[in-house]
Chain A
Amino acid sequence: MASEVARHLLFQSHITTKTAQTSSQVSDHEQKQKESPRSLTMSGHVGFESLPDQLVNRSIQQGFCFNILCVGETGIGKSTLIDTLFNTNFEDHESSHFYPHVRLKAQTYELQESNVRLKLTIVNTVGFGDQINKEESYQPIVDYIDAQFEAYLQEELKIKRSLFNYHDSRIHVCLYFISPTGHSLKTLDLLTMKSLDSKVNIIPVIAKADAISKTELQKFKIKLMSELVSNGVQIYHFPTDDETIAKINASMNGHLPFAVVGSTDEVKVGNKMVKARQYPWGVVQVENENHCDFVKLREMLICTNMEDLRDQTHTRHYELYRRRKLEEMGFMDVGPENQPLSLQETYEAKRHEFYGERQRKEEEMKQLFVQRVKEKEAILKEAERELQAKFEHLKRVHQEEKLRLEEKRRLLEEEIIAFSKKKATSEIYQNQTFMTAGSNLRKDKDRKNSNFM
């Protein structure tokens, strides 16, 4: 009996309350759960070997999502390579070289092969490496990747969320196109890769590989890889933990970076049409392993490791972003006394803190406002008083002027009266004298006239 009891994991719940168990019981349970479960042999066929098929069926129903980011200079062959990889013509026009800033252009396509539906999103960098000053070239790319993580994080943190039909836009793989100079990595490439390596799986490819000869290519590859390693850039290595694909992945890891040639034109070689580029000196076949590594890239990217790329994005890069973001906002898993804090409690504490802060700030601003108003009022009152004083002064001056003018007017009037009196008397006098003067004048005139006579 005792052994029986010992073999069971026991939960005791009381009927009355729904509250959680006390701490001792929970830790007890955790302890017991850490014992590994026993394995059991079955005496017959149960049938759950169909489980992987059930899982696959569900995934087929849901469809798959895959997002590729292509980073490289304008004209290096990004669109052509994607067209070649997926056997379709995605878009026709070439981009111009004259964009002032780097932009990212994303397009989504739905592809279907037999019964597998794939929602493929291709993000291209437009104008990368074209500016004269390339300092800000890689920032838009980093921002875009972060924005996709942020969108997913927001969705995950919502209260009412629907993660299972959320269109996952996080970048699963970044194909970095290196131009085939044959020497070494450009500084821009190094800087960009360094800023992207912790956010996305990077697979470097050497574009337009038909411009390098085979021997130069080998040296170039070795130089590139050593530069990447010495600068601490973490590129994506194909996983080698599963035996079925470990061997092929390990050998492919040695061929990185892949030297690829893209072409959607078909050329007749032998008696079949193959994708190739035709030159006067020969034909470069895209799917010929001797000519370029295109087949390897397709194999690795799509056939063997697509699921692992998505997995890495979700469990490594996204989790890193999430952790950083939440820590930035101040959440921690462990409280001040090293007790595990839950997100909820931290959030509550933060909320209280935040509202306290807000309250305080509001008070402060109110005080400031009141003070300012008072000051303004005082100033205005002062001005008003001054104006009043001026007005009074002016009024007084005006009064005085008026009085003086009155005075003057009176004087003037008196003068006028006096003058008119004088005028009157002088006129009378003048008339009198005129009468006598007139007769005198006549007499004079006569005399004069008589003189003449």
Chain B
Amino acid sequence: MDPLRQSPSPSSSRASSPRTLSCERLGYVGIEAVLDQLKIKAMKMGFEFNIMVVGQSGLGKSTMVNTLFKSKMWRSTMPGLRVPMPQTLQLHSMTHVIEENGVKLKLTVTDTPGFGDQINNDKCWDPILGYINEQYERYLQEEILITRQRHIPDTRVHCCIYFVPPTGHCLRPLDLEFLQRLCRAVNVVPVIARADSLTIEEREAFRHRIQDDLKTHSIEVYPQKCFDEDVSDKILNSKIRERIPFAVVGADREHMVNGRCVLGRKTKWGIIEVENMAHCEFPLLRDLLIRSHLQDLKDITHNVHYENYRIFRLKESHALPRGPGWVNLAPASHGLPASPGPAKVCRWAEDTSDKDF
């Protein structure tokens, strides 16, 4: 700042604390119209949503995605098809644009075939964590550019649906390990897959055991208790938390029941209707994910998980010398101007480790 200029006097630096004025309006001002403006802007821009499904093969992940969005996202893999069992965990991502009543949604679904299918499943969550962190990294890179785009494309995973196999007993070690690690990085919604193999009582018992397991291992699945903002949120989310994990059945075929066309699974002993609350809890899952909490999922991802990643990343890049632990930020490595030896870097890093930027 030019020292010759007059510095603004203290009263001009920050606004004084707000005064609340009474709601007595003498007439119409029109502040409400800002809500419509928001809606128009949102509809023009469209929405983005990224979802990831994790679970062992054969639990009905692809079918579930098809059922959720009522379309053939991809062909569900059926046994007998000559698809070689993948040796390593792979992640498949597909993006679609769907529209309903003028609202455009860009939906990205990431599938994880090969999860938990090997004999030794040690560290099978690493690729998934790596993928999630990579999306955060991409967003971070875009955000710290000098000239950044008007709207940063959001590829971060907003929600991860974890399919628990319907053993009826309790969570397996693999499930516990995975949930523990992932809950810290992303919103996880566990569901009991293929719930049509359990009776209603077995489902309830299984659900309670899972809830106890989660509590014992302090795994916070979505909706997290610590992010409840006000009383109405708490009440709503408590109701949901009671029913987590939902017991779901997926189906993408339609059958005729009582003259109506419903999505369901036809078996010899009856037709399991997917959208019938008495049969399975799929409507709850769909409502949670899409109709009521979609924006909340995105918000928590952006405000909490992404910020945590950012803090970790910015702190780490100060302290570590350029060794094997350093994730190379630039896509191509090129010679940088003479960097001093690692010892010196460490010394400086310690000096300024608390200074912000």
- Using Cβ atoms and an 8 Å threshold, which residues of chain A touch B44? 242
- Complex CA gap A348/B357 in Å reads 11
- Complex CA gap A89/B339 in Å reads 62
- Complex CA gap A279/B357 in Å reads 60
Judged by a CB distance under 8 angstroms, whether B37 is at the interface is: yes
- Residue of A with least CB distance to B155: A33
- Complex CA gap A39/B44 in Å reads 17
Let me know if B311 and A340 touch, CB within 8 A.
no
Q: Select the stretch in A158-166, A406-414, A445-453 that faces chain B.
A: A158-166
Q: How far is the CB of B120 from chain A (nearest CB, A)?
A: 10
Interface residues of B (CB under 8 A from A): 1, 5-9, 11-21, 23, 25-27, 29-35, 37-44, 47, 68-71, 73-75, 88-103, 105-106, 108, 123-124, 126-127, 129-131, 133-134, 137, 141, 144-148, 150, 229-230, 263, 286-287, 290-296, 299, 303, 307, 310-311, 314-315, 317, 327-332, 334, 336-337, 339-340, 344-345, 348, 352, 356-357
Let me know if A10 and B92 touch, CB within 8 A.
yes
- Complex CA gap A11/B25 in Å reads 58
- Using Cβ atoms and an 8 Å threshold, which residues of chain A touch B295? 51, 54-55, 57-58
Let me know if A331 and B329 touch, CB within 8 A.
no
Interface size on A, residues (CB 8 A): 118
CB pairs A–B below 8 angstroms (8 shown): A10-B92, A42-B70, A158-B356, A159-B356, A242-B44, A244-B40, A307-B37, A342-B144
Q: How far is the CB of B62 from chain A (nearest CB, A)?
A: 12
Let me know if A351 and B348 touch, CB within 8 A.
yes
Let me know if A304 and B33 touch, CB within 8 A.
yes
Interface residues of A (CB under 8 A from B): 4, 7-16, 18-21, 23, 26-27, 37-52, 54-61, 64, 85-88, 101, 103-114, 116, 118-119, 121, 123, 136, 139-140, 143-144, 147, 157-161, 163-164, 169, 242, 244-245, 275, 298-299, 302-308, 311, 315, 319, 322-323, 326-327, 331-333, 335, 337, 339-345, 348-349, 351-353, 355-356
Let me know if A242 and B12 touch, CB within 8 A.
no
Known: A15-B124, A116-B35. A349 touches B337 (CB 8 A): yes
Let me know if B131 and A13 touch, CB within 8 A.
yes
Question: For chains A and B in complex, what number of residue pairs have CB atoms within 8 angstroms?
Answer: 317
- Complex CA gap A307/B108 in Å reads 28
Let me know if A303 and B40 touch, CB within 8 A.
no
Q: How far is the CB of A79 from chain B (nearest CB, A)?
A: 15
- Complex CA gap A323/B18 in Å reads 31
Q: How far is the CB of B89 from chain A (nearest CB, A)?
A: 7
Let me know if B93 and A11 touch, CB within 8 A.
yes
| Residue among A60, A116, A159 with the highest chain B CB neighbour number at 10 A | A159
Q: How far is the CB of A174 from chain B (nearest CB, A)?
A: 15
Given contacts A55-B39, A59-B35, A349-B339, 15 further A-B contacts (CB under 8 A): A12-B90, A13-B88, A18-B129, A21-B134, A39-B99, A51-B47, A52-B39, A87-B27, A101-B9, A104-B8, A157-B357, A160-B356, A242-B40, A302-B29, A341-B330
- Using Cβ atoms and an 8 Å threshold, which residues of chain A touch B103? 48-49, 51-52
- Residue of A with least CB distance to B96: A40
Q: Give the contacting residue for A339; candidates B100, B144, B291, B334; CB below 8 A.
A: B334
- Residue of B with least CB distance to A319: B148
- Using Cβ atoms and an 8 Å threshold, which residues of chain B touch A88? 21, 26
